[in-house]
Amino acid sequence: MGFEKRLYPARIGDSVYNVNNFKTYENIKILKEKLKKNIYEDFYYSPKYIHDNRLKRNLISLLGKNKILRNESFKKNLKTSKIVICDYPQTSFLEAITTGPTFLICDYTKNFIPIKEFKKIYYLMEKNNIIFKNVNLLANFINKNWDNVEEIWNSKKVQKTKNEFVEKFSVSNKYNILNSWKKFLSNY
pLDDT 10s digits, 125-171? 999 999 999 999 999 999 999 999 999 999 999 999 999 998 887 75
Query: Residue 160, CB half-sphere, CA atoms under 13 Å: how many?
Result: 6
Residue 53 is classified by DSSP as H
Give the pLDDT of residue 5.
43
Residue 48: band (very low, low, confident or very high) from pLDDT cuts 50, 70, 90: confident
Residue 91, SS3 per DSSP: helix
- Least-confidence region, from 40-44, 62-66, 71-75, 171-175: 171-175
Residue 66: band (very low, low, confident or very high) from pLDDT cuts 50, 70, 90: very high
Written as one string, the DSSP assignment of 118-176 is: GHHHHHHHHHTTSEESSHHHHHHHHHHHGGGHHHHHTSHHHHHHHHHHHHHH---SHHH
Residue 38, SS3 per DSSP: helix
* Candidate ranges 45-49, 58-62, 71-75; pick with highest mean pLDDT: 58-62
Residue 183: band (very low, low, confident or very high) from pLDDT cuts 50, 70, 90: confident
Q: Is the pLDDT of residue 34 over 80?
A: yes
Instruction: Report pTM.
Output: 0.78
Q: 3-class secondary structure for 138-152? A: HHHHHHHHHHHHHHH
CA-atom Rg of the chain in angstroms: 17
